[in-house]
Amino acid sequence: MHRFLARALSLHTLFSLLLVVAVCTSATSLRADSVVSIKDQHSSLTLSKQLMLLEDPDHRMDLEDAKAALQAGRFKAVDEDHLQLGYNDSTYWLYFKLRNDLLSHTADNREDRFYLTVDYPLLDNVEFFHQRQNQLFTMVTGDIYLFSQRYFNLNNYVFPLALTPGETGEIYIRVFSNSSLFIPVTLQTEQSFIDQRFTLDTLDGIYIGITVGLGIYNLFLWLGIRSRVYGLYVLMVFNIMLFNTSINGLTFRLWPESLTFQQIPVYLFSYTSGIAVILFGMAYLKTHSSHPYFHRLFQVLVLLCLALIPTLFFLPIPLSAKLTAGITVVCALSLIGAAIRSLMAGYRPAVYYCLGQGAVIISVLFTALTSQKIIPLYHIAPVVMKWCSAFELILFSIGLADMVHNERRLREKAQKETALAQQELLDSQIKLNQDLDDLVTQRTRELEQANQLLRDLNTKDDLTGLRNRRFLNEALPNEYRRAYRDKAPLSILLLDIDYFKQLNDTYGHQFGDHCLCAAGRLLEDCTRRPPDIAVRYGGEEFVIVLPNTDLDGALTVAEKIRSAFEKQVIRHAGQSARVTVSIGLASETPLQRDEHEALLRMADDLLYQAKANGRNRVEAVGQSSPPKENSL
């Protein structure tokens, strides 16, 4: 009983396996025997899931081997809407059957013509095989063959087919390429093929018309204005046009007898258009003066693109494609970063650059991601890149026009201001004739005020608000001569913030500038007498001139300053620190009229002595009392 049950289970298992094999075999045979039928004169079919696919990694299979592989069931059904295989070293065979089921036929012709198109002009080798009863029709094309050898002088690869009504033909396509293996196969009737060619030629004409029109328009502007930015825009327009037409295969017509330039134009014009876009961006955004960091980065990127151009002649195409994509993304992101910085700084024309470069970034990232099969829709990548670049060029042209408008508006404003100034001058002359004495007095007073304001501006330090070294060079000799004339003491304090360089390195230059500002306020608080002078001498050094102050009084002021610095905590942007100062103090009653420089040098020497003796201290010397130290 047990033996019978085991035998029954074994038979059931064997029957199940045979059933599974039969189902799989029938499914494969069904796809292999399925036929693409054309019934309408205006049919245009994008073939993908109707195709069978076979990979030939060794590149050894010929047509007979492919037929044998089809009979053996080695062809697999394509499950993607668009056949995108990425960068691949293998050869691929495609297969499908085609039947002519047209309801109406071309008059006076026994056969109807169909057109099979592989619409990706960057493929290296595409071979078509049409098995028609006992006849075989073949055609070989690709960008490793001369453009002049093509059956049709078209950008893409087209294979004509002929079938009598009701006839079925077998189609094999053999493809290999060093570029991305994107194989968009389209089957069309003759009428549909002609209609589509008209549409495609119209769209290409619109794009080329836009770019050439923009280029010529701005070329004449450049010839008239002689502004460098217009010349760079023209250079950019024609390079971008060559790049996009290379992707679509249009530039093959420029060198129909050159195989080399059929292989590398996409990558060559990618580099040259990148160089042109960067140079235009540098001029348009004025990076030399407004963004020196980005300016140096762009110079490096231009040199890198120039250095990579010769590598196109010996590097493998897949590596060149990846290098081109990487450089393009870096350039685009850097340019839009500089544009955003310019926009934040209030440069209005940067709006157009941000929008245009943003569109290019979207198209570049889309193309790079789809070519690596990270996201789908690679079949529309050339179209996206072409029209995004057209959008970019239009926006850049609008931006240039806006610049011209702004310049004209500024010129008109200047002319109006000039005319207004002339009218005001005439009115002033009339008024001068009426009341000359009052006007002269008023103008003189205003001129004196303006001169005084100018003197104040020229003698004030912008950062700390203290007087600057220019003021000291004028005031110190005068005070020294006054002290000599009055036989009065004169004291000079030379201060230096301790470890200021280390402070800058630790907290940053902004914090250091804040410390200098705080030091300026503190010194103003400690020198309240009208004749006292507080000066920023240079960097982190300050000078205090104390007229009519002897050594004891100057020591009191110096110690007050030193103590105030020591107690103060400087805070800025979430950071805090204490700083100290070293002070050199020199005091004397002048015995000669013009020895102020010697007194200043004496204070400087004492400052260095204070630093050498431990910093945060006062080193002093004077004639009326012996040298005195005050230190912590």
The tens digit of pLDDT for each residue in 346-384 reads 777 778 778 877 777 777 777 766 666 666 666 667 777
Nearest-angstrom CA–CA distance, 457 and 41 = 86
The residues pairing with 622 across neighbouring beta strands, listed in sequence order, are 587
DSSP H helical ranges for 435-499: 436-458, 469-486
Query: Are the C-beta atoms of 585 and 620 separated by less than 8 Å?
Result: yes
Burial 235-253 (b: 16+ CB within 10 A, else e): bbbbbbbbbbbbbbbbbbe
Residue 583, φ and ψ in degrees, nearest 5: -130, 130
Q: Residue 166 pLDDT > 70, yes or no?
A: yes
Nearest-angstrom CA–CA distance, 163 and 176 = 28
CA-wise closest residue to 488 among 545, 533, 443, 441: 545
Q: Residue 420 pLDDT > 80, yes or no?
A: yes
Mean pLDDT of 229-251: 80
pLDDT band at 400 (very low <50, low <70, confident <90, very high): confident
Percent of the chain with pLDDT over 70: 86
Query: Are the C-beta atoms of 349 and 403 separated by less than 8 Å?
Result: yes
Q: Give the distance, in angstroms, between the CA of residue 163 and the centroid of all CA atoms in the same chain.
A: 54
Q: How many CB atoms lie under 10 A from the CB of residue 23?
A: 10
Q: Which two tokens stand for residue 540?
A: 């982190």
Nearest-angstrom CA–CA distance, 490 and 479 = 8
Weakest mean pLDDT among 19-33, 369-383, 461-475, 561-575: 19-33
Q: Which two tokens stand for residue 519?
A: 């030091």
Q: How many CB atoms lie under 10 A from the CB of residue 128?
A: 22
Domains of the chain: 29-196 (2.60.40.2380), 227-402 (no CATH), 466-631 (3.30.70.270)
Nearest-angstrom CA–CA distance, 273 and 335 = 14
| Cα dihedral: 450, 456, 457, 459 (round 10) | 140
The tens digit of pLDDT for each residue in 88-134 reads 788 999 999 998 888 766 555 578 888 888 888 878 889 999 988 78
pLDDT: which is higher, 524 or 215 = 524
pLDDT: which is higher, 408 or 302 = 302
Strands 52-56 and 91-100: antiparallel
Nearest-angstrom CA–CA distance, 93 and 157 = 16
Q: Give the distance, in angstroms, between the CA of residue 632 and the centroid of all CA atoms in the same chain.
A: 56
Mean pLDDT of 13-34: 42
Nearest-angstrom CA–CA distance, 235 and 507 = 46
pLDDT of residue 560: 92
Nearest-angstrom CA–CA distance, 351 and 400 = 12
Q: Which two tokens stand for residue 308?
A: 């990579």
pLDDT of residue 224: 75
Q: Give the distance, in angstroms, between the CA of residue 299 and the centroid of all CA atoms in the same chain.
A: 12
Distances from the Cα of 552 to the Cαs of 47, 312, 445, 566, in angstroms?
101, 80, 43, 21
The tens digit of pLDDT for each residue in 493-514 reads 999 999 989 988 889 889 989 9
Nearest-angstrom CA–CA distance, 208 and 393 = 12
pLDDT: which is higher, 406 or 533 = 533
DSSP H helical ranges for 134-177: none
pLDDT band at 386 (very low <50, low <70, confident <90, very high): confident
Strands 91-100 and 76-77: unpaired
Q: How many CB atoms lie under 10 A from the CB of residue 204?
A: 16
Q: Residue 26 pLDDT > 70, yes or no?
A: no
Strands 617-622 and 581-588: parallel
pLDDT band at 581 (very low <50, low <70, confident <90, very high): very high
Mean pLDDT of 255-268: 72
Mean pLDDT of 321-342: 83
pLDDT of residue 493: 94
The DSSP secondary structure of 393-409, one letter per residue, reads HHHHHHHHHHHHHHHHH
Burial class (CB in 10 A: 0-12, 13-18, 19+), 524: middle
Rg (CA), the chain: 42
pLDDT: which is higher, 166 or 197 = 166
pLDDT: which is higher, 48 or 613 = 613
Query: Are the C-beta atoms of 620 and 590 separated by less than 8 Å?
Result: no
Mean pLDDT score across all residues of the chain: 81
Q: Which two tokens stand for residue 320?
A: 């060149």
pLDDT of residue 204: 72
Percent of the chain with pLDDT over 90: 21
First to last CA, the chain: 110
Contacts of 214 (CB under 8 A, 6+ apart): 237, 393, 394, 397
